[in-house]
Chain A
Amino acid sequence: MVNLTLRFVACCRAADLRISTAEVLDCVSQLDLIQPLDEEEFKLVLRSNFAKSRREQSRFDQMYHLFFHEMQKDLSKVTHDPDSEQARSVIDMLRTEESDDALGKALTDFMDGDPMAFVEEVHRIHTQEEQEARALRSNMSQLASRLQVMLRINRMKNKVLNFQGGNHAVIDKDNARRIADSLNEKLDNALDLLNNEPQPDNYSLREIKHHDVKYNTIGEIPFASLSQEEIEEVRDVIWKLVKKLEEIATLRFSVSNRGVIDIKKTLRRSGKYLGVPMEIIFKDRPLRKGKIVALCDVSGSVWSTARFMLNILYSLQECFSKIKSYIFVSDLAEVTDFFRDNDVNEAIEKIMNDAPVNYYVPTDYGMAFQHFRNRHMQELDKKTTLLIIGDARSNHMNPQDLILKSMRERCKRVIWLNPEQEKFWGSGDSEMRTYKSHCHEVRPCGNLNQLIDFIEDLII
């Protein structure tokens, strides 16, 4: 039992489930307390120890199914059916012919009941990053690796077919077919594993779909189609909103739960009244402020939303401990300094004019995330809210959503604001569905009413 568990743990680790030795120890000791032959209980013990959040459970379930169901025939080697000897000889044959490289070896191991090397290979392909090409961008590297595995699986299937069609002195036709079927089934499983990457169950995702209609006409016009006059009007509304929110935040600060009594100051003040402590001083507890990191897509229509968002965020600087902002199309640049040196509206104009990024390339979210991770990951900590403003239209490039996952792991919340309305998410080249599973909150934010809703939610 212990060995079996350890092999399963190794397999889970290959699929990027983080399992510590302490958890393995706990699990093994708990297996003594239940009836391990009751599969439901057995699975529950493993799951409650190895998948420590709902998000990891889908990955765990996939591994559990693979290891204890699809591979089960090989686990129960004690039961000796007449086919197994012959099936083994076929696998041995494949092994001698195919194990000249790591992939072939991993696949033959997989057919032989040891999925670890193949799981590792699949995980490597799923997390493969694009190389930054100088001339031509592509999303080919991951697809190429995938194709290679698929071709290899096909080749092996052909070999199994040859075996089935061949003349065998000892095996009759029926047996050969059975063996071929079971081997083909294994290869299909391998293909499934490659093609069906389980998405984490993001049950706690907040999806905001409705908004209050506060301003009838101006509030409902998409930012992208505002005329110059309307832009001014929106700015006015934003300015009023900012003042209102600042007031609320200050008020909250002054009445926020006062700290404990400050004996030092109280005794000092009492000196004025012959030692009678007439005034009792309490320590103020400073309001906890969060840090904001904003990533704004500045291509095409998204910029019209991003500019208003940046306008509001920087007007409300007082309410946050720090704001860092970045813009991206494909490469990413920090624009925090623009706001430090200029007035908010001037800064926004300047960003547009002295563009620190190249606007004339197709948007590539994956590459932008990769840049952020390589250069600015240290900006994220457990008190940071990461705001991403963009339509998630990545021109069919590799979305590299696992980088977003690692960003999520470092910060407090990830909120995605999409200027497109919800019905368009996931259509065409939109990767919103993929990214959604790594966010804490997603909401459409394409007009003033939606923006106001979001800001009030963030501050109050």
Chain B
Amino acid sequence: MHHEHFFSCPSVSDLIIFPVSIGLQFFVFSLFLKQGFGKDDHEKPYSGMSRIYGTTKKAGGKADMDFQSVQDVQEQLEAFSYIASKEISTVVFLAQATKKPILVEGPAGVGKTELAKSVAKCLGRDLIRMQCYEGLDESKALYEWEYAKQLLYTQMVKEKIHDVVSQSATLKEAVDQIAEHEDAFFSERFIQTRPLLTAIRSEEPVVLLIDEVDKSDPEFEAFLLELLSDFQVSIPEIGTIKAKTHPFVFLTSNNYRDMSDALKRRCIHLYIDYPAIETEVNIVKLKLPGMDENLLTKLVKMVARIRDLDLKKKPCISETLDWAKSLVILQIEDLSAEIVSETLNTICKHRSDYEVVRRNILKVVKD
């Protein structure tokens, strides 16, 4: 643990013994540069790894609104442009009513992340997102001590420290006296909260999205268990922090590796597949209201056929949308084999995929 090094090194007493305060100032300054301390407060704690979304409060509504029934979930999600199947809305409703996390599984690009975002919008809660990757650890996910701030404060209260130790006769006594004030330097004031702690300490309930949890290490998965079952985390120097409000937790997985039974047991499971043709038509219609319906149906059917081909990466819903958008911009009214091959690069992201579709173009275009 990094803070242990700070703790075990004679830092506080060192700083007093060090006569060169200029050096310390320079040190603190260089830390500012390295750690980006003093930047905009909103960006600081997440340093590019995760974001916090602004609250989308419902007009005239309370910040925290609950879903009343399965039907209600479906309608509210649709109002925020998310077309949810009965399965999705039932699971969301149950998870909210029983305060359990949802483990969402499914191929890439079927709207797993989008579901969490839409639920946050419906409930008028902030969304805190944490993207998992190999090597993600507690200091990136939970909290980190703010070394720079600790040093800066040490520097600023140096006079005070001097007062504390001035009466002591021996070095040992001085160290003892400083030790009594140790708590001042390891308090919540100096904790830099990362997404998980932010979600737990939030006064208002939030939606917490732990994205691509299958990419994280098994250690991190184990660490999540305490959070998901009791909504609390333990910080050695401070103790256990219990959640003030229950976050609505979504975990998403592409099944790169299988999740442990312990984690699965704590969640409600939801599998989202590629949408049926009518559902996908409705989704595109919702996002691109101006598009000609015949063309749209034809396009969605083609995408479904392309998904059946042997591709490295199957086109997902957002790619269907991109393709539809580009057709609207190009003012294309009918999809012939030539037009499909010309506009194919919006849905095929690999050269070999592009060639496979080109080779099977007649199969794809057939009515």
Residues of A within 8 A of B (CB): 18, 20, 22-23, 26, 29-30, 33-34, 40-41, 44-45, 47-49, 51-55, 57, 203-204, 207-210, 212, 257, 259-264, 266-267, 270, 273-277, 280, 283, 285, 288, 382-383, 408-409, 412-413, 440
Chain B residues with CB under 8 Å of A34's CB are 70, 90, 93-94
A275 and B19 in contact, given A26-B100, A34-B90 (Cβ under 8 angstroms): yes
A41 close to B26 (CB less than 8 A): no
A408-B258 CB under 8 A given contacts A263-B9, A267-B14 = yes
A/B interface sample: 20 pairs, CB < 8 A: A45-B90, A48-B269, A52-B267, A53-B259, A54-B255, A55-B258, A204-B256, A210-B312, A260-B2, A260-B139, A262-B5, A263-B5, A273-B23, A277-B23, A280-B30, A280-B34, A285-B135, A382-B257, A412-B257, A413-B256
Whether B27 lies near A383 (C-beta < 8 A) is: no
**B97: which A residues are within 8 A, CB to CB?**
30, 33
Interface contact A49-B22, CB-CB below 8 Å: no
In the complex, what residues of B have CB within 8 A of residue A273's CB? 23
- Among residues of A, the one whose C-beta sits closest to the C-beta of B145 is A260
Do A29 and B98 touch across chains, with their CB atoms under 8 A apart? yes
Residues of A within 8 A of B90 (CB): 34, 41, 44-45, 48
Let me know if B237 is at the binding interface, CB within 8 A. Answer: no
The yes or no answer to B86 lying at the interface (CB within 8 A) is: yes
Assembled-state Cα–Cα distance A52/B259 (Å): 10
Interface: B11 (CB within 8 A):
yes
**Bound form: Cα–Cα A267–B23 in Å:** 10
Contact A274 B271 (CB under 8 A): no
**Which B residues are CB-close (under 8 A) to A285?**
135
Does chain A have a CB within 8 A of B43? Answer: no
Binding site for A on B (CB under 8 A): 2, 5-6, 8-9, 11, 14, 18-20, 22-24, 26-27, 30-31, 34-35, 70, 86-87, 90-91, 93-94, 97-98, 100, 103, 105-107, 134-135, 139, 144, 147, 217-218, 254-261, 264-265, 267-271, 273, 310, 312, 352, 356
In the docked arrangement, what's the CA distance between A445 and B312, Å?
17
Q: Which residue of B lies closest to A208 (CB)?
A: B312
Cα A203 to Cα B259 in complex, Å, equals 15
**A30 with B34: CB separation less than 8 A:** no
A244 vs B94: C-alpha distance when bound (angstroms): 52
Nearest to B214 among chain A residues (CB) is A204
Q: How far is the CB of B151 from chain A (nearest CB, A)?
A: 9
Q: Given contacts A263-B147, A270-B23, is CB(A45)–CB(B94) below 8 Å?
A: yes
B18 touches A275 (CB 8 A): yes
**Please, which residues of chain A bring their CB within 8 A of the CB of B8?**
264
Report the 5 A-B pairs with minimum CB-CB distance, sorted nearest first.
A204-B255, A276-B23, A52-B264, A275-B20, A382-B218
Q: Does the CB pair B312–A22 fall under 8 Å? A: no
How many Å lie between the Cα of A47 and that of B20 in the bound state? 67
Q: Which B residues are CB-close (under 8 A) to A53? A: 105, 255, 258-259, 264, 269
Q: Are B103 and A52 in touch, CB under 8 angstroms?
A: yes
- Residue numbers in B under 8 Å from A30 (CB-CB): 94, 97-98
Identify which of B255, B258, B352 contacts A409 (C-beta below 8 A): B258
Q: Using Cβ atoms and an 8 Å threshold, which residues of chain B touch A26?
A: 98, 100, 268
Contacts of A54 in B (CB 8 A): 105-106, 255, 271
Please indicate the chain A residues that have their CB under 8 angstroms from the CB of B147 in the complex: 260-261, 263
Q: For B310, what are the chain A residues with a Cβ–Cβ distance below 8 Å?
A: 207, 209
Report whether A288 and B134 are in contact in the complex, using a CB–CB cutoff of 8 Å: yes
Report Cα–Cα, A311/B105, bound state, in Å: 37
Given A263-B5, A408-B258; A49-B134 close (CB under 8 Å): no
Choose among A49, A267, A408 the residue that contacts B268 (Cβ–Cβ < 8 A).
A49
